[in-house]
Copies of this chain bind each other. A is one copy, B any other.
Amino acid sequence: MRDVYHEELDSIGRTLIEMTGLVGAAMSRATAALLDADLQVAESVISADDAVDALQHELDSRALDLLARQQPVAGDLRTIITSLRMSADLERMGDLARHVAKVARLRYPEIAIPEDLRATIAEMGRIAGELARKTAEIIEGRDVNAARELPEDDDAMDELHRALFRALLDKTGEYSVETAIDVTLIGRYYERFADHAVSVARRLIFLVTGERH
């Protein structure tokens, strides 16, 4: 019985890694859709988010079922609760990738991002993909050291986010209100995506060490 139980726990861990891979790929593809005004890619990101939501529901039911049937204590209990919280972060990261893709779709065939801001958005997309890749490794290896380094990537994201606002404000008159709205929302989607990746890393640190932050 305990073996089936630990297999279940491992399988929950694998689902978290799978979700992380999916949301990372979604944000990278949403970025490409946004910068190339690629409607087909945008549509596929939007519809692929259902798979992330389904994985979350499935993971949550399995975790709740384990809690109810096995009444785990100490470490296993913490693992299950942490998994529920990570899955909520990951589900939200999927939503944010979908939001980016929706802006791409809304403005198609135009490119929502003005030319001189595209390099910044491309870099935000690259960091988002990198954060997801590292987050998957952190979960897989229960890698506390790597988890402690993740906020550095988030700092880089925050800096790009500020740069985006500065660029919008510096060239007043050059950008339309519509562009200001799109860029403001998109910047926030990337920033929140990064925040949730850091949140997953923090939860991993708490899981392994018992430390908060």
Which residues of A approach B to under 8 Å, CB–CB?
57, 64, 67-68, 71, 73-74, 77-78, 81, 84-85, 88, 165, 168-169, 172, 175-178, 180-181, 184-185, 188, 212
Q: Find chain B residues with CB under 8 A from A169 CB.
A: 177-178, 181
- The complex is assembled from copies of this chain, and their number is 2
Q: Find chain B residues with CB under 8 A from A184 CB.
A: 180-181, 184-185
- Majority secondary structure, A binding face: helix
Of B64, B175, B185, which contacts A177 at CB under 8 A? B175
Q: Find chain B residues with CB under 8 A from A57 CB.
A: 212
Evaluate whether A181 and B178 lie within 8 angstroms (CB atoms) in the complex, with A67-B81, A68-B73, A71-B71 already known.
Answer: no
Residue on B nearest A63 in the bound complex, by CB:
B81
